[in-house]
Amino acid sequence: MEHKHFHHGTKFIKDNGLKFKIVYTEKFQTRAEAMKREKQLKGWARAKRRSLIADDLELLKKL
């Protein structure tokens, strides 16, 4: 199962007139695991999430 995180403002996925772009994905065995990870990521500061998306592991460790 692949869990996707979306970013507003681009033209890849359209839902109710809003535009989204997939900026980061992870694979999980179960929906429960994916939902647990999503909850964790939503608790992070924006800078930490952006460093994850950018694959900046050094900055991610600092945050």
Amino acid 29: pLDDT: 94
Encode the chain (63 residues) as per-residue pLDDT tens digits. Answer: 555 555 555 555 555 566 778 888 999 999 999 999 999 999 999 999 999 999 898 888 888
SS3 44: coil
| CA within 13 Å, CB half, 51 | 13
2 strand-pairing partners: 27
What is the β-pairing status of strands 18-27 and 2-15? antiparallel
Domain total for the chain? 1
Range of the domain at 35: 2-62
What does the alpha-carbon distance between residue 59 and residue 33 come to, in Å, rounded to a whole number? 25
> Which element (helix H / strand E) includes 30?
none
Amino acid 2: pLDDT: 55
Please, are residues 24 and 48 in contact by the beta-carbon 8 Å criterion? no
